[in-house]
Structure 1
Amino acid sequence: MSEEQLRTNVYAALKTFQDSLRTYRRETGSPPEFLISGASPAIPRELLAGCKVLPRREDIIADLPKGGIGVEVGTQTGRFARTLMDLAKPRKLYLLDIDYTPFRKEHVEQELEAGTVVTREGSSWDLLEEFEDEYFDFAYIDAGHGYEMVKKDLAASLRKVKKGGYILCNDFVVWSALEAIPYGVHKAVCETVSSNKLQVTHFAFHPYGYSDIAFRNS
């Protein structure tokens, strides 16, 4: 399919979608919140005090304490695992994913051979439960993006990351513009941070709006 064909198809589908949304709002008097897993609670102002606002997610990773034990929850190709190794410099990094078909071991081949990087396959929250409590110094969460999946990953991470350690979440949005699907990351994170009174430490922009957020476990 060419770009022009895709553009034509998308714009036609978008018009149908927009017409349906207008009809729904007119007939019900309310927005279709089910499309975005409902509204997210506001993170209290005091939990945002001192938060660093940065231009890209790599800047958050570079700010993490060095030499710890980390976990990437959802690694896909393994490309960002390379970034985690280069910038956070963990002494050990675990990669968790439900499917390693897209994974390219050349990104971290030497570390895999040395045992510095370890892969585990299965559902992310189940794999996290296999580790001792307060085992990790940081967790980078980028697995399933549905609300319930993110909530499970966050709940497990709160137990498995050390007190004072960092939890980072990729794709902190309610809607994926490039996939036209809802993301539950924004709501799940806002609920978790607010209900557990976790201090937000970093926020990083993304060129397409898929922001990152980081907070300290407590």
Structure 2
Amino acid sequence: MKNIFKPILRLIYEKMFLPIASKAMRRMSRNIPKTDLGSKHLANAKLLENREELLKRIPENGVVAELGVDEGGFSNLILNISKPKKLHLIDFWGSKRYNQTKRNKVEQRFEKEINEGLVEINLGLSTEVADSFKENYFDWIYIDTAHSYDVTRDELELYRTKVKDNGIISGHDYILGNWNGMIRYGVIEAVHEFCLKYNWEIIYITTELTNMPSFAIRKIGAK
């Protein structure tokens, strides 16, 4: 019976759903500003295998924030590889996918580190929590939230002054979008626009396809 319906479902998908979804994706893409980086923004860029290698190249013992925590998998890597002196975990955990159950898992996973003051959970949307941090506070941050152009643009703007002059802003999903979910991202465009506007440079791009590429940027001339 299933084999009978497969051709019909495929036809419905190809003739009805796919054209509508493709049109919506093209419209979303047209609305995202596109800018190209100059050579000075790429002069020190290095390709890395994955984001674990990225963590190995970021200075240890820093004050760090992860924006978008999920269940804390990457948070654990940050603790083990980067060895921060303080790690802020910023998340809302207010959606159907990213919910309070996941927040509870994070609190249980890092109970020891939270009690020791090494890890601090900052509950709320990344754009709303930003004002609670003082200027020049973070050594580096990692953004892994909505991935849309608008949200990523706003996060870069808000946290730009929260990192130190030689600080690093990094993040996940440096790609055009999620094909399986038919979702158009805007991380690349937001990062490029930010680098041009504030004279920052790309220092690392990871090349992984199984876990999506990450980026890292800093002010040009920062050491």
TM-score between the two structures when normalised by the length of structure 2: 0.83
Q: Helix, strand or coil for the counterpart of 2:132?
A: coil
Partner of 2:76: 82
Gaps of at least 5 residues in structure 2 are 94-98
CA distance in 1, matches of 2:193, 2:20: 30
- Once the two structures are TM-superposed, the CA of residue 217 in structure 1 deviates from its matched residue by 3.7
Please say if residues 35 and 193 of structure 2, whose CA atoms lie closer than 8 Å, have aligned partners that are also in contact.
Answer: yes
Change (3 A) 1:123 1:45: same
Partner of 1:68: 62
- Once the two structures are TM-superposed, the CA of residue 177 in structure 1 deviates from its matched residue by 2.0
Change (3 A) 1:204 1:144: same
Q: Helix, strand or coil for the counterpart of 2:161?
A: helix
How many residues are paired up?
208
What is the correspondence of 1:20-169 to structure 2 with a 5 Å cutoff? Answer: 20=20, 32-35=26-29, 37-38=31-32, 40-99=34-93, 101=100, 102-103=102-103, 104-105=105-106, 106-169=108-171
Deviation string for 1:149-170 (max 9, x for gaps)? 1111111110100011110011
- Once the two structures are TM-superposed, the CA of residue 13 in structure 1 deviates from its matched residue by 2.8
What is the correspondence of 1:130-209 to structure 2 with a 5 Å cutoff? Answer: 130-208=132-210
- Once the two structures are TM-superposed, the CA of residue 211 in structure 1 deviates from its matched residue by 1.2
Please say if residues 169 and 213 of structure 1, whose CA atoms lie closer than 8 Å, have aligned partners that are also in contact.
Answer: yes
Gaps of at least 5 residues in structure 1 are 25-30
Cα RMSD between the aligned structures? 2.8
Identity of aligned residues (%): 25
1:204 partner amino acid: T
TM-score between the two structures when normalised by the length of structure 1: 0.84
- Once the two structures are TM-superposed, the CA of residue 33 in structure 1 deviates from its matched residue by 4.5
Change (3 A) 1:14 1:192: farther
Please say if residues 93 and 117 of structure 1, whose CA atoms lie closer than 8 Å, have aligned partners that are also in contact.
Answer: yes
Q: Helix, strand or coil for the counterpart of 1:70?
A: strand
